[in-house]
């Protein structure tokens, strides 16, 4: 980001008693502005420069880094020592103005939001008065195109440091379209044309809207077969003082092109594919329809599918109707050819590689058609590049390979393919020189390189090797290391006959970067300690790119800053010290700490929903946050309920209201860094398989990151549950569950949202009993424990493909096993696990392709939903998901999946899992992936009424896997 309109000036006026290398402490900073009214922000901004400095050089570098990217035109400072020997800094700056808001005021209603992207000003950027003229021109142009005349624009500015720009716009009388005349080249008329333009009559003249209507007309005519239609819009001012125009619409449709195809019984290619190809080439200008050989287009389409020697004939019949419209009718007779079997793929000139080796390369890259032994033109051309790359990776740097030569048999049913190869010399790596590194470093580096001494030279891996060298050295603390001979011809030297090559990597590693101190700027509300406690560095420790990135990610995770810049600044560059002393200058731009969200939507499991949230972050400048969340949902079907509740079709609005407080560092002076605390209270109404429930829940959770990737947590939760509308009497009543849940998580994912490599492991154990205030009555005791493990693994096979796997399982056991006699005189355990706490495959654990009531049926003789079972012993669940993912782009993923899972009571039977396969389309959003999944059961079963289960099911979810 540039410093506007001037040069950044640094002036050091140091008293005679202060030497350049003497350390000193700045305990006061005074800021003077040439424009004082703009300076209020910077009086606080420069407070961060107070502290100890080893030299004026360190102060200079820190001052320079802090100024970087700020709206300051020029700056200077004086270091002044008073009579008591104390130092204070006198800073003189000239500050630029930033744009706070851009508004428009006009004497006619206009949608100025459409203009904003074309304006030379942007909110949040510095104000350049020289751009005011350009802004006025854009406004006049914008309004003129919308039918306004006699336009005047005045720019009004208010504010000092942050400007509010108001464009005061006066427009004369609106130019009105009073008449629209049509001119056709034929007697043809179409009501659609009048519909496109007549509604403009009596309205303001708008050149852009007429242009849009003209494009719609042209597109419509093109799709009808009028490939070379013409349309023009002309307007003429009349009675200028009244501001009126007459518009003329000229239309020449030209000839209409119709295509008729006789394919016989063949359905390989349909009519729409051929016409689409013709239209594509006309639009791109590749062909002119009067000159084109349509036979070649159709034959090429068949060849792309592997059919050769197709016979395509056509004739053209021209005519005209009574209205003068010309017709060019094309009649095609098509006889599909046959697939051509490849008898042999031969290679000439391959002295260093056997035909068998080349055949393996061929099959590795072959398309399905080619693997089956048929001719595939497009693959053969692509294979040439793949084959050459394979040679180059094996040291044949100068290999050339001819285009494939295809020779057909006499009858054309088979063909032979040949490639001419000029292998050239095989280049071996004679030596790899690593200049300016120690012997120990050289040994470690050589082991990391793809290219090896006495191995073939792989030039495709050279850039990767250079990156590996630099990254390795920088990770050793040589933060400023560079390759000094990257552009030198000496970097890669060949022998005279190209049999050998020497790789000469010369490094300028400089000195190690040693952390000195932290300098923070830009935090107007956030206290320094919030940033400081994310910096896990002590004075004297080495700085590496990984450490800088880890700091950046930790600061991002706090969600307090819209922008974070970390600039390592050397403060002793010209000294003879063994290491560079580096100040980390962290500049932040704070977010608006108040957020309001409103999110209507639909989910396949809970129906239509409306969610909202209000968050207030950074309370007291300490990173604390308070959030209110609410959600209402109304189900559109009752498929996830039991039979009685499905037939009842009782409508009940579900809700969830939550208040949450988060403290990122709990009692840091006592408990140390990194103790995260959250407390929440939730009121909700949920509908379950066999009952409805009103739930009040409060919880408190602390978490500690014990390593970069490992987090321990402990959660206490108290729930009161009132269950009603129950099918089974046992599901009605009041429960109170108090529990404590320790958990451990280990996260090695490369990205939390769009993960491609790494893994995430978690294990939790929930304990509920009267010690934690769970219900304990004579007739009912809640006493159980629950173990849950969820693990995700990701592996990227290639740049476009990857595998994702989730393995989850759980075990829970009722501990209230004392036998008592119930009202009917039968013995039963005094306690059981409340059905609301029994495992159920929903949400992240749902097996795609199944409804909730299908996948949660118990197996064997217990063909009932698990919520109907009284779990007074043990329960289990298992869930497996595997996805083969195709990364279409950074925001879109197409995946093919296989899921399996089931719930069990008392006995775990891994061979009884239900499974499904399907396809998933994922769109990456800031909160996770939005997944559109369709799963198909691998084996359908009979339901209780004797009918078969649904074939599959569509699912919509966000942020699950």
Q: 690: which 2 tokens?
A: 């066999």
Write out the CATH class of domain 98-170.
alpha beta
Whether the CB-CB separation of 421 and 410 falls below 8 Å is answered with no
- Kindly state the tokens that stand for 581: 């002393």
Residue 39 has pLDDT above 60, yes or no: yes
**Greatest mean pLDDT among 761-770, 868-877, 946-955:** 761-770
883 with 804: CB under 8 angstroms?
yes
- Out of 450-459, 558-567, 790-799, 904-913, pick the least confident: 558-567
pLDDT in tens, 433-442: 999 988 888 8
Q: Pick the residue with more confidence: 848 or 195?
A: 848
Is residue 123 within 8 A of residue 104, CB to CB? The reply is: no
Q: For residue range 695-745, list pLDDT tens digits in order.
A: 999 999 999 988 878 999 999 999 999 999 988 877 788 889 999 999 999
In DSSP terms, 124 is beta-bridged to: none
> Considering Cα of 262, then 265, then 268, then 272, what sign does the dihedral take?
positive
Interacting residues of 18 by C-beta distance below 8 A, sequence separation 6+: 24, 56, 79, 81, 87
Q: Encoding tokens for residue 201?
A: 């009559």
β-pairing, 874-889 with 892-905?
antiparallel
Residue-wise pLDDT for 578-623, tens only, equals 999 888 889 888 888 888 888 888 877 788 999 999 999 889 888 8
Looking at the domain 24-95, which fold is it? Answer: Ubiquitin-like (UB roll) (3.10.20)
Torsion of CA 863, 869, 875, 879, to 10 degrees: 50
| Residue 507: count of CB within 10 angstroms of its CB | 20
Count of C-beta atoms within a 10 Å radius of residue 750: 11
Between CA 889 and CA 260 the distance in angstroms is 39
Name the range with the highest mean pLDDT among 258-272, 485-499, 519-533.
Answer: 485-499
- CATH, domain range 748-961: 2.40.160.50
The 10s digit of each residue's pLDDT in 88-127 is 888 888 777 788 889 999 888 888 888 888 899 888 778 8
Tokens found for residue 731: 């599901």
Listed in sequence order, the DSSP H helices in 476-590 are 528-532, 545-557
513-590 topology per CATH = Ubiquitin-like (UB roll) (3.10.20)
Pairing of strands 230-238, 162-170: unpaired
Neighbouring C-beta atoms of residue 95, cutoff 10 Å: 25
Please tell me which residue, 148 or 379, carries the higher pLDDT value: 379
* CB-count exposure of residue 676 (10 Å: 0-12, 13-18, 19+): middle
Q: Which helix (H) or strand (E) holds 272?
A: helix 271-283
> Closest Cα partner for 765 from 785, 736, 793, 749?
785
List pLDDT tens digits, range 420-434: 999 999 999 999 999
Query: Are domains 340-422 and 748-961 of this chain identical in fold?
Result: no
Structure tokens at 176: 């009105």
Higher-confidence residue of 541 and 9: namely 541
CA atoms within 13 A on the CB side of 123: 8
Q: Which of 263, 266, 256 is nearest to 332 (CA)?
A: 263
Burial of residue 214 (number of CB atoms within 10 Å: 0-12, 13-18, 19+): middle
10 Å Cβ neighbour count for 270? 12
Instruction: Specify the higher pLDDT residue, 13 or 712.
Output: 712
Half-sphere exposure of residue 918: CA atoms within 13 angstroms, side-chain side: 23
Mean pLDDT of all residues belonging to the chain: 87
Residue 934 confidence (pLDDT) above 90: yes
133 CB-near residues (< 8 Å, 6+ apart): none
Retrieve residue 916's tokens.
């499904």
Q: Which of these CATH numbers, 3.10.20.310, 3.40.640.10, 3.40.47.10, 3.30.420.40, describes 176-252?
A: 3.10.20.310
Q: Is 428-508 CATH 3.40.50.720?
A: no
Tell me the range of 215-229, 320-334, 712-726 where mean pLDDT is highest: 712-726
> Who wins on pLDDT, 264 or 776?
776
Distance CA 718, CA 706 (A): 27
Residues 405, 418 contacting (CB under 8 angstroms): yes
If one counts every other C-beta atom within 10 angstroms of the C-beta of residue 394, the result is 19
Rg (CA), the chain: 37
The encoded tokens of residue 600 equal 């209507």
Q: What phi and psi values does residue 348 have, to the nearest 5 degrees? A: -115, 130
Residue 707 to residue 777: CA distance in whole angstroms: 43
The mean per-residue pLDDT over the stretch 936-951 comes to 85
Q: How far apart are CA 125 and CA 114, in angstroms?
A: 20
Q: pLDDT tier at 40 (50, 70, 90 boundaries)? A: low
358: three-class secondary structure by DSSP: helix
In this prediction, residue 241 carries a pLDDT of 58
Q: Which residue bears the tokens 């949040």?
A: 124
DSSP H or E run through 804: strand 801-814
Give residue limits of the domains in the chain: 24-95, 98-170, 176-252, 256-338, 340-422, 428-508, 513-590, 748-961
What is the longest distance spanned by two Cα atoms in the chain?
107
Q: Tell me 222's DSSP state.
A: H
Q: Which two tokens stand for residue 145?
A: 């195109």
pLDDT reading at 543 higher than 50 = yes
Rounded CA-CA distance 816/814 in Å is 6
Q: How far, in Å, CA of 20 to CA of 379, rounded?
A: 70
Percent of the chain with pLDDT over 90: 42
Residue 651 dihedral angles phi and psi, to the nearest 5°: -90, 130
What CATH number was assigned to the domain covering residues 340-422?
Answer: 3.10.20.310
653 versus 33: the higher-pLDDT residue is: 653
DSSP string, 310-353: -EEEEEEEEEE-TT--EEEEEEEEEE--EE-EEEEEEEES-SSS
- Rounded CA separation 749/742 (Å): 22
Per-residue pLDDT, averaged over 310-334, amounts to 88
Residue 69: its pLDDT value, please?
65
Q: Are strands 51-53 and 24-33 parallel, antiparallel or unpaired?
A: antiparallel
Contact 616, 597 (CB under 8 A): no
Task: Compute CA distances 881 → 85, 621, 848, 885, 899, whole Å.
Answer: 70, 43, 9, 12, 4
Q: Please tell me which of 174-188, 206-220, 586-600, 622-636 the model is most confident about, judged by mean pLDDT.
A: 622-636
CATH: 3.40.50.300, 3.90.1170.50, 3.90.480.10, 3.10.20.310. Which one for 256-338?
A: 3.10.20.310
Residue 675 β-bridge partners: 704
Residue (of 943, 939, 895) closest to 918 by Cα position: 895
Of 767, 758, 773, 764, nearest to 740 by C-alpha is 767
Q: How far is CA 494 from the centre of its chain?
A: 44
pLDDT-above-70 percentage for the chain: 93
Mean pLDDT of 294-303: 84
Asked if residue 867 lies in contact with residue 856, where contact means CB atoms within 8 angstroms, the answer is: yes
Q: Give the model's confidence band at 672: pLDDT under 50 very low, under 70 low, under 90 confident, else very high.
A: low
DSSP state of 526: S
Lowest mean pLDDT among 165-174, 185-194, 406-415, 472-481: 185-194
Say which DSSP state 495 is in: -
CB count within 10 Å of CB 208 equals 11
Burial class of residue 147 (count of CB atoms within 10 Å of its CB; 0-12, 13-18, 19+): buried
pLDDT at 171 over 90: no
3-state secondary structure of 219: helix
């Amino acid at each position: 980001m540039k410093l506007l309109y001037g040069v950044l000036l640094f002036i050091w006026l140091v008293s005679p008693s202060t030497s350049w290398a003497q350390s000193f402490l700045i305990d006061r900073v005074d800021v003077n502005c040439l424009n004082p009214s703009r300076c209020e922000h910077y009086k606080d901004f420069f407070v961060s420069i107070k502290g100890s400095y080893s030299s004026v050089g360190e102060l200079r570098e820190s001052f320079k880094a802090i100024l970087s990217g700020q709206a300051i035109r020029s700056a200077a400072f004086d270091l002044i020592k008073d009579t008591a020997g104390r130092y204070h800094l006198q800073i003189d700056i000239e500050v630029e103005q930033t744009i706070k808001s851009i508004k428009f005021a006009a004497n006619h209603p206009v949608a100025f939001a459409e203009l904003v992207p074309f304006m030379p000003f942007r909110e949040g950027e510095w104000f350049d008065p020289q751009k005011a003229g350009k802004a006025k021109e854009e406004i006049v142009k914008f309004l003129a195109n919308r039918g306004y005349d006699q336009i005047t624009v005045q720019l009004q500015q208010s504010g000092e440091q942050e400007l509010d720009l108001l464009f005061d716009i006066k427009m004369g009388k609106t130019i009105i379209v009073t008449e629209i005349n049509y001119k056709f080249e034929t007697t043809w008329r179409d009501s659609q044309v009048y519909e496109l333009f007549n509604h403009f009559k009596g309205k303001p003249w708008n050149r852009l809207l007429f242009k849009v209507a003209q494009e719609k007309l042209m597109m419509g005519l093109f799709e009808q077969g009028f490939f070379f239609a013409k349309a023009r819009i002309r307007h003429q001012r009349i009675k200028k003082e009244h501001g009126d125009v007459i518009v003329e619409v000229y239309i020449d449709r030209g000839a209409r092109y119709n295509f008729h195809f006789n394919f016989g019984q063949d359905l390989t290619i349909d009519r729409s594919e051929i016409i689409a190809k013709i239209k594509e080439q006309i639009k791109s200008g590749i062909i002119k329809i009067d000159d084109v050989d349509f036979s070649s287009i159709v034959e090429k389409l068949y060849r792309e599918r592997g059919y050769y020697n197709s016979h395509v004939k056509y004739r053209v019949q021209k005519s005209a109707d009574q209205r003068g419209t010309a017709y060019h009718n094309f009649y095609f007779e098509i006889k599909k050819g046959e697939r051509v079997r490849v008898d042999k793929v031969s290679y000439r000139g391959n002295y260093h590689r056997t035909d068998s080796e080349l055949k393996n390369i061929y099959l590795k890259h072959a398309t399905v058609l080619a693997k089956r032994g048929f001719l595939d033109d497009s693959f053969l051309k692509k294979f040439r590049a793949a084959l050459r790359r394979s040679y180059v990776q094996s040291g044949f740097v100068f290999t050339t390979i001819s285009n494939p030569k295809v020779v057909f048999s006499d009858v054309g049913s088979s063909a032979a393919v040949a490639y001419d190869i000029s292998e050239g010399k095989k280049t071996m790596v004679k030596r790899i020189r690593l200049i300016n590194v120690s012997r120990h470093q050289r040994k470690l580096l050589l082991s990391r390189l793809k290219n090896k001494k006495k191995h073939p030279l792989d030039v495709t891996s050279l850039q990767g090797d250079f990156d590996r060298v630099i990254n390795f050295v920088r990770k050793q603390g040589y933060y400023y290391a560079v390759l000094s001979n990257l552009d030198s011809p000496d970097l890669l030297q060949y022998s005279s006959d190209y049999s050998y090559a020497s790789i000469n990597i010369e490094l300028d590693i400089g000195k190690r970067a040693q952390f000195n101190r932290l300098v923070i700027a830009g935090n107007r509300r956030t206290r320094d300690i919030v940033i400081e406690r994310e910096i896990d560095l002590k004075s004297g420790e080495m700085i590496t790119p990984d450490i800088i990135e880890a700091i950046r990610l930790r600061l991002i995770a706090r969600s307090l800053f819209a922008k974070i810049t970390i600039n390592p600044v050397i403060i002793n560059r010209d000294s003879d010290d063994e290491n560079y002393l580096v100040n980390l200058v962290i500049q932040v731009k704070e977010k608006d700490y108040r957020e309001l969200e409103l999110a209507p939507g639909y989910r396949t499991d809970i129906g239509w929903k409306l969610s909202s949230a209000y968050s207030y972050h950074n309370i007291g400048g300490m990173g604390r946050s308070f959030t209110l969340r609410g959600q209402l949902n109304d189900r559109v079907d009752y498929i996830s309920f039991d039979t009685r509740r499905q037939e009842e079709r009782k409508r009940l609005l579900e809700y969830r209201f939550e208040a949450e407080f988060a403290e990122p560092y709990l009692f840091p002076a006592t408990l140390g860094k990194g103790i995260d605390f959250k407390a929440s209270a939730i009121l909700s109404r949920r509908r379950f398989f066999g009952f409805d429930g009103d739930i009040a829940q409060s919880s408190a959770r602390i978490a500690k990151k014990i390593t970069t990737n490992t987090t321990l947590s402990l959660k206490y939760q108290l729930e009161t549950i009132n269950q009603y509308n129950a099918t089974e009497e046992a599901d009605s009543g009041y429960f109170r569950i108090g529990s404590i849940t320790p958990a451990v998580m280990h996260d090695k994912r490369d990205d939390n949202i769009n993960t491609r490599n790494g893994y995430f492991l978690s294990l939790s154990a929930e304990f509920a009993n009267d010690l934690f205030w769970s219900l304990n009555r004579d007739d009912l005791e809640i006493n159980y424990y629950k173990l849950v493990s969820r693990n995700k693994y990701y592996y990227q096979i290639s740049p476009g493909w990857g595998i994702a796997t989730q393995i989850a399982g759980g075990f829970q056991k009722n501990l209230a096993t004392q036998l008592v006699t119930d009202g009917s005189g039968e013995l039963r355990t005094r306690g059981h696990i409340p059905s609301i706490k029994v495992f159920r495959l929903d949400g992240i654990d749902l097996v795609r392709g199944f409804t909730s009531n299908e996948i949660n049926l118990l197996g064997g003789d217990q063909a009932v939903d698990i919520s109907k079972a009284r779990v007074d012993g043990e329960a289990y669940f298992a869930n497996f998901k595997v996805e083969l993912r195709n990364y279409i782009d950074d925001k879109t993923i197409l995946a093919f999946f296989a899921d399996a899972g089931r719930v069990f009571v008392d006995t775990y039977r891994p061979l009884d899992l239900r499974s499904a396969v399907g396809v998933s389309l994922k769109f990456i959003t800031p909160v996770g992936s939005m997944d559109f999944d369709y799963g198909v059961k691998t084996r359908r079963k009979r339901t209780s009424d004797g009918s078969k289960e649904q074939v599959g099911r569509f699912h919509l979810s966000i942020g699950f896997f």
